[in-house]
Structure 1
């Protein structure tokens, strides 16, 4: 279950980007957003943060620097980049809304500043899907149509992943968007991770949350 201290750990991911990685270390970012209904609607379930049930909207899973071959650069050093909690105090309310933890154990992460939150604010994925008749209502929708709707709205194609609900139904889970090394512009993904193959069928459930 999340606490203010684990929010702080998570927001260590939000320290200035280029104090940790230089653009020479990687080729692009994955901005990964998850649908909380799919994260919770599994045999594992999920734990809500102390602030209560998150909003019925996409939440950030991560902003990950990636190399064109699909690998990731080495993690930064905590010794070299010590954490100062006062630097992220103003980000905590935004993170509680857009980056809640749905796992029951704390995560030790570190990395970027408000970049991920700002990128999420640029693109309202739920509004894009709903405006194309794709809604989190427990019905089944086409992955092809989801991809088409997002590309039409932002100009680049997403990667979409799936997982399985307790009844064995394949359900829409996460959206991968690729971002340039300046963390300013969405780009076509040079490569997508193998997890994209988790959507083995075109029609998948979009669970209620």
Structure 2
């Protein structure tokens, strides 16, 4: 989801309320891990006051999509905005089909490639010591394939439903059994006030190639009820 306008500010406020102090420096000297954050469009778009628009390619098939690949430092900080960078959108043209599928924007109006420019400038620039522009996006796409959340839940019989609730414990167990690592789950609330699965995060090593157990889970992020919904796709 592109982070723009009031929705961007709301989202960033939530994300940075994990009791993590964000870095505004120009480099990451002690990169410890990457957080691959995926989100469920149904939960994002059914919030009260939220409006979503499909990309030009039309309504995608139901799936969790990439929300971001964030570098994380060993002192407990997320790094961001690590300096100006001459972003060459043309260089990622061979990846655009995959990015549109796995890392789309649903803002209104659509911002297209500007979303990926934003993600690189905000987060990717902090990974240049280990990943360049192309490897950064390739890493996110590859990690998403390794952490196939929708498939993992489906295997456990956990499927989108307008009325059904699932225990948070069963959702976590399904992901651990299928993917092999404990997830970090965040919830939001629909217009009726029900807790619903929104973001699922897994961690990767400093190469951006292998999933690992998250070295740090920020405090204050337990915002899911014991029973949560998995709403239909938007």
Could you tell me the TM-score, scaled by structure 2's length?
0.74
Q: State the 1:61 CA deviation.
A: 0.1
Q: State the 1:194 CA deviation.
A: 4.7
Indicate conservation of the 8 Å contact 1:137/1:206, yes or no. Answer: yes
Q: Tell whether 2:144 aligns with 1:120.
A: yes
Q: Tell whether 2:134 aligns with 1:129.
A: no
Which whole-Å deviations, capped at 9, do the CAs of 1:108-153 have from their partners, x for residues lacking one? 3312231101111123211111111111122111111111111122
Distance change in 2, residues 1:32/1:155 (3 Å): same
SS in 1 for 2:137: coil
Indicate conservation of the 8 Å contact 2:175/2:181, yes or no. Answer: yes
In the other structure, the counterpart of 2:172 is: 147
In the other structure, the counterpart of 1:89 is: 93
SS in 1 for 2:222: helix
Distance change in 2, residues 1:181/1:204 (3 Å): same
Q: How many angstroms apart in 1 are the aligned matches of 2:160 and 2:196?
A: 11
In the other structure, the counterpart of 2:192 is: 167
- Correspondence for 2:103 among 94, 99, 121: 99
Q: How many angstroms apart in 1 are the aligned matches of 2:166 and 2:51?
A: 23
Indicate conservation of the 8 Å contact 1:69/1:191, yes or no. Answer: no
Q: How many angstroms apart in 2 are the aligned matches of 1:154 and 1:98?
A: 18
Q: Tell whether 2:119 aligns with 1:109.
A: yes
Q: How many angstroms apart in 1 are the aligned matches of 2:35 and 2:195?
A: 23
Q: Which segments of 5 or more consecutive residues in structure 2 lack a partner in the other structure?
A: 3-25, 125-135
Distance change in 2, residues 1:172/1:195 (3 Å): farther
Indicate conservation of the 8 Å contact 2:68/2:119, yes or no. Answer: no
Indicate conservation of the 8 Å contact 1:26/1:72, yes or no. Answer: no
Q: How many angstroms apart in 2 are the aligned matches of 1:33 and 1:195?
A: 19
Q: How many residues align?
A: 188
Indicate conservation of the 8 Å contact 1:161/1:195, yes or no. Answer: no
In the other structure, the counterpart of 2:228 is: 204
Q: State the 1:195 CA deviation.
A: 6.4
Distance change in 2, residues 1:195/1:91 (3 Å): farther
In the other structure, the counterpart of 1:35 is: 40
Distance change in 2, residues 1:116/1:142 (3 Å): same
Q: Tell whether 2:209 aligns with 1:184.
A: yes
Q: How many angstroms apart in 2 are the aligned matches of 1:180 and 1:97?
A: 24
Runs of 4 or more above 6 Å deviation: none
| RMSD value, Cα | 2.1
Q: State the 1:73 CA deviation.
A: 2.4
Q: State the 1:50 CA deviation.
A: 2.0
Q: Which segments of 5 or more consecutive residues in structure 1 lack a partner in the other structure?
A: 3-19
Q: How many angstroms apart in 1 are the aligned matches of 2:38 and 2:209?
A: 17
